Structure formats: structure tokens, C-alpha cells
């Protein structure tokens, strides 16, 4: 990949080059503008562009105008819209508030990113005192729309704190719209809890790693007699009667070997979306990744097979959206940024989300609290402080600045305009937030996924149309 930033002497009434980057791919040149916008050019078209043999009104001219590779004044509005869509999340205060209700958990998942504690250790619960302080900080946020997401560990283990936050936040909302979501393994769900969640419009999200064999291998209960998969299935059947079921897949080596079974399970249970998420180097996964992990190339092969299988199911009339592809399609087609933290630059840490721990510590983001179990590097405050006090700290500025993907590696990548950088994950691997040059499987995976989507764009119109339908 080569980055071109051309300064030409054309007046604006003619045209000027926007900044762009390119790579030779699939026999043509893939050209991507630094503010988004992409196009495939033949070798002759590419040479004509570089040598400025661009005739006003020609097919090549129109291609370059529509993709914002050149600017002539007629597409300034399009350029502005693209920039706004790309950076719309940098507009104020973080709206996602992750509240760790308990760091205890009933499961012992092989890849646990949170490094959860044993279910019997109640000192890992959020106290009502800290729950109040957490709410006070969240409600000091001037944003009119706030999402509070209950996480753990397993949040249902401390249901009293969930109820307290829901009622306290709504009572003291002061005109703010407050939404709630719950991330749970569903082991402790019962009819009374379920009735309360539905009555209070709390969205329920769980983890479902595939069929019974894969799921129970990855997500084992402390109770050896408990079948996590069958319990998930039971509650999903109830959930889908009142709201759309939501779940994600954390892909381990076991999952890679069973991609069809994973997808078929989601279809059978009536899901309309599936999120094929690779492992993150956080929490328990640090010590288990050598046995449950894979190379970036292995994941990409799994992903290609999975996405092709999902696309074929869509052609058969079975609507199932793969969320990784959906988020990247938003990027490629100039839709508003989907705000997936690891695809944002700067990332969502501090400016998109904040995580409130059970012990009253406030962290930059969910990955930040998962990575801070030892030295607390990503702690940015304590519950009860005003949000402006927290966000004005030098550490916050440092974390945000370090998550901008202007490192050397990224600058040589054609997909830089569509991607982001995870500071906590870098810290977890290398004990530094400095974005140094590393062989990163996450980068390889992201590049491989983008490659596959652009391959569909260029060579398989039928498959591309399926993908495109997901964003409309």
C-alpha cells in the first residue's frame, strides 16, 4: 500500500486531488480516500489518474468525483457528509455507561475477558452505596440520551443493585432519556427477574457460542451438572416472544472447526443477526489463548466460509445478518460510523463509553477495566465524581490520543480510514499504550475481512447485493 498526498496547481474551478491510499488487488487498483470513499480502477485508469490525464466529464472523472478522490467543488457537500458520518461520535460526552454489577460469575468460560471471581465471593459485588455514586456520575453527563449496560461477571448474581440503579436513575433523570441493557449468561434467570426486566424495557443480551458441543466446551458452569446451552435455548424461546433476541459468538479453536453448526444453531433459534467475534487478549484469555486460539489466517478462513454460508442462507430467504460485516459495510458505503470501539479512530475509550467497576473505580472503557485488574492503568476516576472532572484529566487525554491510528503500521494500510486501534489490547500484550509496530493478529483479521468484502464488491455482484441489503 502506498499513500499519495498530491499538491497540484489546479484551481478549484478545475479539480484537486484529495488524499488517498491504494493497493493492487484482484488485478486492479483499490483506491480509498482518507475521508472514506473507495473505487476499483484498471491499471490504465490508475496510470491516467497519477499522470493527471483526467478529462472533465469522462467516465474516469466521474468515478473519481463520486468517490471523492478528486474535488472540483461539485462534491464538497458529499465530502463534508462523509467526514461528518465518519466522526459523528466526536460530539460531546460518552453515552454508553457500562456498570459492573458484580465481578462474580457462575460460569468459568475458557476465554473470560473479565477474569471473573468465584460466585461465592460477595466482596466482588457492587454495593448500593457505590451504585448510587455511579448513578450520580452517570447523571452528571449533560447528554440527553444515556444507555446504562449491566455487565459482570454475571450481573444477575446481584439483582438488587440492578433494581436500585433502574429506579434511582429514572427518578433522577431530570429530562434525560435513559435506556438499559443487560449482558448475562442467563444461568440465574428466573420468572420474577425476567418479568421485572421486560416490564422495565431492559434489553437482554447473552452469549451463544454455537451448538451444544461448542457452547458447553467454551462456557462451562461452576455447577458441573448445569447445561449452559439448554438453559440458553429455554430463555431465548421466552425472550423472542417479547423482544428480539441478541447474542454474540466468541470464536475459539473449537468454533472454527464447527462454523456451519454455529450458524445453523442461530437460524434454528430464530436469530436475525450473528456476531462472529475473534478472541481478545484480555483477562483469562491471556493464559488460555495458546490452547484455544488460532492464527489470524485461520480465523479469516473460518470467516470466509461462515460469511459465504450466511449469504447463501440469505439467498434462500433466511435473513441472518453477520454484524462484523455489517459494521464494515457501514464504513465502506459511507454510512454513519457504527461506533464499534475497535473500528474507531480515536477509539470509543472515554469519548464513546465509560466503565464503572463494582468497587467504585471508573475506567476508560470495558476493555480498560478488563485490562486494569493488576495495575489499574486505565482507571480515570472514582464513582461519585462529576463527569467533567473525570474527563478533564490528563490521563483521559493521553488515552484518547494514543488510540488514534496514526502509527506507522496503520499509515501504510489501505484500510486505515475504516479502522481503529485498541489501546487496552496493545497494553495487555506489550505493557505500553505507545502504538508501536507489532505483528498483530487483530490487524490481520480486520484486513482479511475488508479484503473479502471488497472481493465481493468487485467480483460477485449477487453476494454484494445481499451484503448491501443489510444496511438498508
Contact 417, 34 (CB under 8 A): yes
Half-sphere exposure of 261 (CA within 13 A, CB side): 13
Cell reading at 191: 420468572
The CA distance from 348 to 335, in Å, is 18
The C-alpha cell 452505596 sits at 129
Burial 297-321 (b: 16+ CB within 10 A, else e): eebbebbbebbebbbebbeeeeebb
pLDDT of 10 reads 44
Q: What would the pLDDT profile of 423-466 be if each residue is shown by its tens digit? A: 887 787 777 777 665 556 888 899 999 999 999 999 999 999 99
Q: What is the pLDDT of residue 6?
A: 43
Q: pLDDT category, 120, cuts 50, 70, 90?
A: low
Tally the C-alpha atoms within 13 A of residue 123's C-alpha that lie toward its C-beta: 0
pLDDT, residue 192, reads 98
Name the least confident of 109-123, 329-343, 366-380.
Answer: 109-123
**Could you give the residue ranges of the DSSP H alpha helices within 1-58?**
43-50
- Confidence at 139, pLDDT banded by 50, 70, 90: very high
Does residue 307 carry a pLDDT above 50?
yes
Please check the confidence at residue 151 and state whether its pLDDT lies above 80. Answer: yes
- Residues 42-49: contacts with CB under 8 Å, at least 24 apart: 46/22
User: Is there a contact between 190 and 143 (Cβ–Cβ < 8 Å)?
Assistant: no
Q: Provide the 3-class DSSP secondary structure of residue 135.
A: helix
Domains of the chain: 2-87 (no CATH), 96-294 (3.20.20.70), 353-438 (no CATH)
Between 242 and 78, residue with greater pLDDT: 242
CB burial of residue 230 (10 Å; 0-12, 13-18, 19+): exposed
The grid coordinates listed for 193 are 427477574
* Helix axes of 323-332 and 441-459: crossing angle, nearest 10 degrees: 70
The predicted model scores a pTM of 0.91
Residue 372: the pLDDT is 63
What is the distance in angstroms between the CA of the first residue and the CA of the last residue of the chain?
31
Q: What is the pLDDT of residue 302?
A: 97
Q: pLDDT for 257-303, tens place per residue?
A: 899 999 999 999 999 999 999 988 777 777 788 889 999 999 999 99
Q: Quick one: cell of 89? A: 461520535
pLDDT digits 0-9 by tens, 206-239: 999 999 999 999 999 989 899 999 999 999 999 9
Q: What angle do CA 400, 401, 407 make, to 5 degrees?
A: 125
Read off the pLDDT of residues 41-79 as tens digits, 9 standing for 90 and up.
Answer: 999 999 999 999 999 889 999 999 999 999 988 888 888
pLDDT at residue 2, rounded to an integer: 52
DSSP category for residue 174: T
pLDDT of residue 5: 46
Residues 138-165, mean pLDDT to the nearest whole number: 96
Q: What is the largest CA-CA distance in the chain?
A: 75
* 8 pLDDT higher than 80: no
437-447: pLDDT as tens digits: 555 688 889 99
Neighbouring residues of 289: CB distance < 8 A, sequence distance ≥ 6:
111, 279, 281
Joined together, the cell numbers standing for residue 222 give: 461452576
Alpha-carbon distance 415 to 36, whole Å?
Answer: 9
> What average pLDDT score do residues 350-354 get?
92
Amino acid at each position: 500500500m502506498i499513500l499519495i498526498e498530491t499538491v497540484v496547481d489546479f484551481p478549484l474551478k478545475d479539480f484537486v486531488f484529495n488524499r488517498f491510499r491504494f493497493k493492487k488487488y484482484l488485478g486492479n487498483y483499490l483506491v480509498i480516500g482518507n475521508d472514506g470513499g473507495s473505487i476499483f480502477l484498471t491499471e490504465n485508469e490508475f496510470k491516467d489518474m497519477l499522470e493527471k490525464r483526467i478529462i472533465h466529464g469522462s467516465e474516469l472523472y466521474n468515478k473519481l468525483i463520486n468517490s471523492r478522490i478528486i474535488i472540483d467543488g461539485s462534491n464538497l457537500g458529499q465530502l463534508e457528509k462523509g467526514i461528518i458520518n465518519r466522526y459523528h461520535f466526536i460530539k460531546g460526552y460518552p453515552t454508553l455507561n457500562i456498570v459492573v454489577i458484580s465481578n462474580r460469575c457462575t460460569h468459568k468460560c475458557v476465554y473470560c475477558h473479565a477474569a471473573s471471581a468465584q460466585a461465592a465471593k460477595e466482596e466482588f459485588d457492587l454495593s448500593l452505596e457505590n451504585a448510587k455514586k455511579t448513578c450520580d456520575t452517570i447523571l452528571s453527563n449533560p447528554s440527553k440520551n444515556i444507555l446504562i449496560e449491566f455487565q459482570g461477571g454475571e450481573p444477575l448474581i446481584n439483582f438488587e443493585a440492578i433494581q436500585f440503579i433502574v429506579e434511582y436513575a429514572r427518578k433522577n433523570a431530570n429530562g434525560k432519556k435513559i435506556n438499559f441493557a443487560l449482558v448475562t449468561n442467563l444461568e440465574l434467570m428466573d420468572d420474577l427477574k425476567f418479568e421485572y426486566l421486560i416490564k422495565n424495557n431492559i434489553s437482554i443480551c447473552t452469549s451463544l457460542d454455537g451448538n451444544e458441543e461448542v457452547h458447553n466446551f467454551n462456557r462451562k458452569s461452576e455447577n458441573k451438572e448445569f447445561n449452559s446451552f439448554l438453559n440458553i435455548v429455554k430463555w431465548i424461546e421466552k425472550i423472542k416472544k417479547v423482544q428480539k433476541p441478541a447474542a454474540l459468538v466468541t470464536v475459539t479453536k473449537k468454533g472454527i472447526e464447527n462454523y456451519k453448526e454455529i450458524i445453523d444453531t442461530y437460524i434454528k433459534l430464530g436469530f436475525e443477526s450473528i456476531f462472529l467475534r475473534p478472541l481478545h487478549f484480555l483477562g483469562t484469555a491471556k493464559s488460555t489463548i495458546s490452547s484455544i486460539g488460532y492464527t489470524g489466517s485461520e480465523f479469516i478462513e473460518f470467516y470466509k466460509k461462515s460469511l459465504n454460508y450466511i449469504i447463501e442462507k440469505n439467498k434462500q430467504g433466511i435473513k441472518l445478518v453477520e454484524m462484523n460485516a455489517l459494521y464494515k459495510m457501514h464504513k465502506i458505503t459511507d454510512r454513519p460510523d457504527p461506533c464499534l470501539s475497535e473500528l474507531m479512530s480515536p477509539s470509543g475509550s472515554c469519548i464513546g463509553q465509560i466503565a464503572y467497576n463494582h468497587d467504585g473505580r471508573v475506567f476508560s472503557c470495558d476493555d480498560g477495566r478488563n485490562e486494569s485488574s493488576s495495575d489499574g492503568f486505565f482507571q480515570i476516576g472514582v464513582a461519585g465524581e462529576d463527569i467533567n472532572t473525570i474527563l478533564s484529566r490528563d490521563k483521559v487525554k493521553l488515552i484518547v490520543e494514543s488510540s488514534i491510528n496514526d502509527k506507522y503500521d496503520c499509515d501504510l494500510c489501505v484500510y486505515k480510514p475504516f479502522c481503529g486501534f485498541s489501546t487496552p489490547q496493545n497494553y495487555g500484550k506489550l505493557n505500553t499504550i505507545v502504538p508501536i509496530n507489532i505483528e498483530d493478529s487483530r490487524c490481520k483479521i480486520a484486513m482479511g475481512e475488508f479484503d473479502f468484502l471488497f472481493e465481493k464488491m468487485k467480483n460477485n455482484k449477487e453476494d454484494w447485493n445481499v451484503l448491501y441489503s443489510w444496511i438498508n
